[in-house]
Chains A and B, each alone.
Chain A
């Protein structure tokens, strides 16, 4: 009884302490994010990747991860810690990726995940998507020699497709819409599908364009095959984090936007130091100064270091460099930028203003 009374007597004090504590923290202007605190105290970012997808994430012979998705993880680690190496990659298959995110096993996903309504909505998977880092879509590949350049050229011709996939359904839908009759040749596995295509049993093969490009680079003569310009589905591959921690989602979002914006401003891995020196020397370049964190408090508003953009671009380069290095025309995948060009060059890559 005495103990209880003492406890009751002290409770206002406790309450005041708690409120005081809260007031202190919010008064500091710091961003509150449980996830970011966890990541900081752990000392590294745990990033869920596919790990087996050419151009997006795979292990190099030296045991390091490469690819567009791996570079996204690296960029976020650079923003948080100033060190792109502070990432623990976790290979996830497509069925466990959302569970791993929800249970907190991974801090974020950069795992060629298509953003859809049901994955985004609170009533669905309830995860929070960042900006799309790769606009993929279902395409068609045909031999250059066949002369096939558009969907119409495929009328009455056999097309190889993997059975039981959304790819098969999309192809059927698009062809029905356009009133083109064709013969689907269905196969159980991807390997069988491409073997049949190479064996000449069909004049075209369909899959996601990034997959077609990856397969093409393994063909005996990659230059003899062309991707048709038609895109039959939308597959925006997008990094994601768990819902309910807006500060963490914002940090990921603006790290990716920084990659986009850096390309737009012509800031590259090679010249970022020079640009920073230029911004420091010239007070008239207000936009550049704010973007690189010389003035203003963008970093602080996000809960990131003031110079996070410098660290990100210094680590992985701008978006264009990331794209070219991993999947672009200079890489074995030889993908055109296409809809992944900057918005002012006719593409969909667009960063809102850093303001």
Chain B
């Protein structure tokens, strides 16, 4: 009752403070309501979602061979298990510097959202019953592991806990092997990767590889050695001086001529490296901003305590600089994720490329709105996940949360 009162009061204060405020508020609310109603009417009345339902595999994996798709299922299951485990352990072992929730506020909301998605998503996509069951099983695995590790995780020895985060890089490498083959698995060439798989793979590879490049280049640009400094400046300014699409075309068209037949990397990897170097230059500038904001006295103080220059960088300067650079860096990563859509222009079948080929299927001609809306939702989910992760990391790195 009290909450409702205060909500009403705050609404009155925010939206209807004066007569003109009230008119503007009502006008805007009517506009927004009409737009939402129109969208819903279209989505549930006119839109023909069969274009999405018929092409789910294409959107998810592109042309990944059917008989090898168990590898992707296995990878998704492993990812779900790792997520459940890490999530539960974070909850079980809250520390002053480590907020135990993935979700701001209460992570029961996250559990509810996940459960809802697992129950509704596969059915809405019109997946066959066995596939729906797989998704339920995978979600159940995640939630059970979260519950179990949340309940008993506290009893694990601290020495073991310290190694748990290592499962993520290991899983990434394992995922690469599962996707591309090797170690006794049949090779699946990159030309057969596609859809969401290719988008996520390209973006994650470029993000992981561009971060060290960016940090090194930022340090290089502030270095006192002329060769290092000018090399970094040249790299950063060359990359920032050209639009990404130009660099992508350069990578696709020129490398084939420069390197003899078999030596040029596959076009998918060419694109991945171009993305990496492109993102690296921007990350370098974000990190440089972070470095510049750390007062010079910090470095001097560290040196006077007897730390070497690398030690001072590692323990004093970089932790502060990276924390400051984090929001800008994650912003760069989010824009990189969206930039992967440019790969469709060089003939790769990532999400947008897949969408364009689906829209060219005479059976689904003219279903552009359905396809683009689905793409927008998918991209929003990926970017929102990156943003959530970034803010969780910011909270964790916030010095006011760190015990003195």
Question: Which A residues have a C-beta under 8 Å from some C-beta of B?
Answer: 51-55, 57-63, 66, 88, 90-93, 95-96, 99-100, 102-105, 191, 214-215, 217-219, 331-333
Contact = CB atoms under 8 A, between A and B. Distances in A.
B243 interface: no
B256 A99 contact: yes
Interface residues of B, number: 35
Given A91-B349, A214-B362, 15 more contacts: A53-B360, A54-B365, A58-B357, A58-B361, A59-B63, A59-B357, A60-B361, A61-B55, A62-B57, A63-B64, A93-B345, A96-B249, A102-B257, A103-B253, A105-B267
Interface in B330-371: 345-349, 353-354, 356-363, 365-368
B191 A88 contact: yes
Contact of B348 (A66, A88, A91, A215): A91
Contacts, number: 92
B157 interface: no
Nearest to A217: B365
Q: Is the interface of A mostly helix, strand, loop or mixed?
A: loop
Contacts of A88: 191
6 contacts: A53-B360, A58-B357, A99-B253, A103-B253, A103-B257, A104-B261
B214 interface: no
Contact of A59 (B261, B348, B358, B367): B358
Nearest to A104: B261
Interface of B: 54-55, 57-58, 62-64, 66, 191, 249, 252-253, 256-257, 261, 267, 345-349, 353-354, 356-363, 365-368
Contacts of A51: 347, 349, 353, 356-357, 360
Contacts of B267: 105
Given A91-B347, A93-B345, A218 B357 contact: no
Nearest to A220: B366
Given A96-B249, A99-B253, A214-B365, A59 B346 contact: no
B361 A54 contact: yes
Contact of A61 (B54, B252, B353, B365): B54
B349 A333 contact: no
A63 B345 CA distance: 19
B370 to A, nearest CB: 12
A311 to B, nearest CB: 24
Contacts of A103: 253, 256-257
Contacts of B54: 61
Contacts of B249: 95-96
